[in-house]
Structure 1
Amino acid sequence: MTDTQFFIEKYRTLVETRIGWGKSDNWQSQDFETLSGEIFKKTGVLLSASTLKRIWGKVRYNSTPNLATLDALARFVDFPNWRSFCHWQEEATAALEEPKVTNRKYRIPLLVTVVTIVLTLIAFILQRQSVKTLRYSNIRFSSKPVTNGIPNTVIFKYDATRSNADSVFIQQNWDKRRRFRVDKNRHEYSSTYYLPGYYRAKLVLDDSVVKEHDLLIESDWIGVLQKEPIPGYLPRELYMKDGSMGLEEADVNIGPKDYQNEPPVFLLSRVAKDMEVPSEAFELSMLLQNTFTRVSAPCRQASVMLLGTGGVIRIPMSAPGCVGDLLLLLGDRAIDGKTHNLSGFGVDFNKPVQLRCAVSSAEIGISLNGTLVFRDKFPKGIGRIVGVRIAFTGSGTVSNFKLSSLRKD
């Protein structure tokens, strides 16, 4: 067992104890969907149910989760990052393994010594933090994709040598938990992107952002089956059809008797500069249908995610009986079906569903089949909308897609 696996097992036990759902041996798919929503509400990081299933050993996966995922998991249980959780666990394990001091006359001196050391260390850290001022000059930071389309590797070039920073990070988007530590004395770092998207890249010295710039990974419509760490790319002729795009149930390689197999998540995505519209005044419309009818996915879930330069809007849909598991995202706000009435997002996917989402006058309205199912204030927006991701459990189709600005120039 590797150290990471050891700590993951300890982490699972801690989470199971805190949330009080019983042993994870009895958890169902909807429990992992709910846990995904709880983690997002607390940390702002959206970890998919499939990722959590791998963490809990429900799906076989031989690779180690990336550091951004582990840091988000640690924040969910009130640690600043994964390293802090592991250090705490090491100390707890060591304390359990220490031999007990049986002679009473040694206990008090030992306790005094330990307390003195701890207080001295805390005073030193606080003094160091209070007096240090970050200094830097001639900082450089840039990035360049090596090709067009997806997958794509981005080469980051940086120079932070003229600084007194103890640590240097490259943050790949607006989420500060997606930071990767780099060598202060080096000048290049590369990262591979497997899906198109907008990223606000930042150079971080200690905990201060000193340089940032837009990074857009563009792609025409692509269809993939979500897998970690690399999605399965589908041939264009399979998902691009006359007047529509997507997969029918027959296109998914799961037999009618595969009751125990987890259905795939099919994703349609496009990110491009020519899609750009303002999130404070836009209209989105389309016809979409989850075409997967197998008993292994009775909820027939689908979601539409608009990708903005300052966050996302995620509109979920499912069979009416599963709306309690839905999660609506509006920028940094999460609206959970467990604590909010999202029954309007329950639909009959036996036929295509007409979706319309519009924002104007700092309000957002979402309609399904001509019925307004959600309206609320939306003052912040999500910056400029530059892309979309449409996800289906199993398979699904989209037609009449339209994204347009409502701004009157």
Structure 2
Amino acid sequence: MHSEDDNLQQCRSLIEEKLGWGAGQQWQNGDFEALSERIFAETGVSLSVSTLKRIWGKVRYDSAPTATTLNTLAQFVGYQNWRSFRQPAPAVHTVEPVRSAPEPPVRVAPNRLPASRWPWVIGLLFVAGLVGIWAFQNRVKPLEYGAISFSSRPVTRGLPNTVLFDYDAGDSNADSVFIQQSWNPKLRFRVEKGGHHYASTYYYPGYFRAKLVMNDSIVKEHDLYITTDGWLGTINYDSIPVYFPHQQIYRHKTVALTEADLSGQGINLQQTVPSVSLHYVQPLGDVSGRNFVFETELKSTFNRNEAVCQQTGIMLLCSNGMHFIPLSVKGCVGQLTLSFAGTSVSGKTNDLSGFGVDFSDWVRMRCEVKDKRVTVLVNGQRAYEGPVDGNPGKIVGVRYYFQGTGAIKSARISDGKTRTVLL
């Protein structure tokens, strides 16, 4: 029987094999940031960088991982939950046959059924034949449906937010009906075929594609946009985040999360450094993720303990993907990973030294995508230029990541026709 440590080691090995990034002991902070994003995209649960580092032994932590953490890791490698992951495979025993001298054959008279049992046998064969005919006729039942409806609406503005799904799947021969929150089939929930309403709670803002599924077929889908009420700050816990509304984080013409904000939530930054985010998810018109200019000024404001690299990230959320631009102190640029419309650029195999900065002053970043190419300037100097092949859709918001605390001084986006000032 495997111990819990053995199970966790096996789960880590499966994740490393799935990602193909090499041994987890060699991962840097940027790898854990990327893993956190992958897990959130596939499971809908946000595991913080600090939590993932504890799982891989990068940060000392005496307590065992929470049930939410273990269930999420198990789901990421294809299991329903941690219990099913821990379930041992049934043992297969083989017995070496005992060899002995051959014995002379023994003639055995045929074993005939008594005449009284023949009716029972004939009856069983008849029932088995009927079952076989029924199974053959019903082995493939094409899905048929008539008037089907599917819509949704958030009940409020801001986060957390409950989304009410309205559906009508009664005019169909479907055996089962599901509502899927996004592209991820693991976020699929069975609903009553004869029902009409289903409620689901969303804890992070974003752009989702909700689907109505009958049996295994997607029959209707629509966009679902969970927005913020102005700027929103979060401490990114594994399950439910801590929220800081716009009026609390907007100060002196900047948006910031401070050490006082975190200590007010009982966080001792000498013991742990959480991942925090500043979100602005609002309609920005029809600005395409393939043709825009984004400019911002930001600052990481915490650099002690495990935040010595001051890993910072800017994610431009799009309706069908995202762009991700990281920053850090100069000595940690080898840990960074860029991502544009699904194409990643690793600091381990590319020169990303231009994304190393001094956070003692405001950092200016400019990102322009045009004619399938991206150019990123950091403090007026070209840090990266390369191709953008995918189509991420229109830009729907922006999210900043910081280790511990951080601040934003300005943020604006334009496409040559319209210009929107976020801050």
**Structure 2 vs 1, CA of residues 36 and 297 (structure 1 numbering), >3 Å: closer, same or farther?**
closer
User: Is residue 2:16 matched to residue 1:16?
Assistant: no
Q: Deviations over 1:233-275 (max 9, x none)?
A: 2254542112211134555439xxx786221222111111246
**Structure 2 vs 1, CA of residues 89 and 50 (structure 1 numbering), >3 Å: closer, same or farther?**
same
Picking from 284, 295, 305, the partner of 2:305 is 295
**Does the aligned pair in 2 maintain the 1:286–1:400 contact within 8 Å?**
yes
Alignment of 1:10-409 (within 5 A): 10=7, 12-16=9-13, 19=16, 31=28, 33-34=30-31, 37=34, 45=42, 48-50=48-50, 52-53=52-53, 58=61, 62-65=66-69, 70-71=74-75, 73-74=76-77, 81-83=78-80, 90=87, 93-95=89-91, 98-103=92-97, 131=140, 133-165=142-174, 167-173=176-182, 175-185=183-193, 186-219=195-228, 220-234=230-244, 236-249=246-259, 251-253=261-263, 261-274=271-284, 276-407=286-417
Letter in 2 for 1:49: V
Letter in 2 for 1:282: F
Secondary structure class of the residue paired with 2:357: coil
Q: Find the aligned partners of 1:315 and 1:60 in 2 and give their Cα distance.
A: 33
Alpha-carbon RMSD across the aligned residues, in angstroms, is 3.9
**Does the aligned pair in 2 maintain the 1:315–1:329 contact within 8 Å?**
yes
User: Shift in Å at residue 9 of structure 1?
Assistant: 5.9
**Does the aligned pair in 2 maintain the 1:259–1:296 contact within 8 Å?**
no
TM, length-normalised to structure 2? 0.73
Question: What is the count of residue pairs matched by the alignment?
Answer: 366
Secondary structure class of the residue paired with 1:273: coil
**Does the aligned pair in 1 maintain the 2:47–2:237 contact within 8 Å?**
no
TM, length-normalised to structure 1? 0.75
**Structure 2 vs 1, CA of residues 280 and 350 (structure 1 numbering), >3 Å: closer, same or farther?**
same
Aligned to 1:117: none
User: Shift in Å at residue 341 of structure 1?
Assistant: 3.0
Q: Find the aligned partners of 1:13 and 1:177 in 2 and give their Cα distance.
A: 24
Unpaired stretches in structure 1, ≥5 consecutive residues: 21-25, 75-80, 106-126
User: Shift in Å at residue 10 of structure 1?
Assistant: 2.5
Q: Deviations over 1:63-96 (max 9, x none)?
A: 435977643x21xxxxxx3149976864x5321x
Q: Find the aligned partners of 1:87 and 1:129 in 2 and give their Cα distance.
A: 31
User: Shift in Å at residue 402 of structure 1?
Assistant: 0.7
Letter in 2 for 1:52: L
Secondary structure class of the residue paired with 1:82: coil
Secondary structure class of the residue paired with 2:223: strand
User: Shift in Å at residue 289 of structure 1?
Assistant: 0.6
User: Shift in Å at residue 47 of structure 1?
Assistant: 5.8
**Does the aligned pair in 2 maintain the 1:37–1:336 contact within 8 Å?**
no
**Structure 2 vs 1, CA of residues 34 and 380 (structure 1 numbering), >3 Å: closer, same or farther?**
closer
Which sits farther off after the overlay, 180-189 or 361-370? 180-189
The structure that has the greater radius of gyration is 2
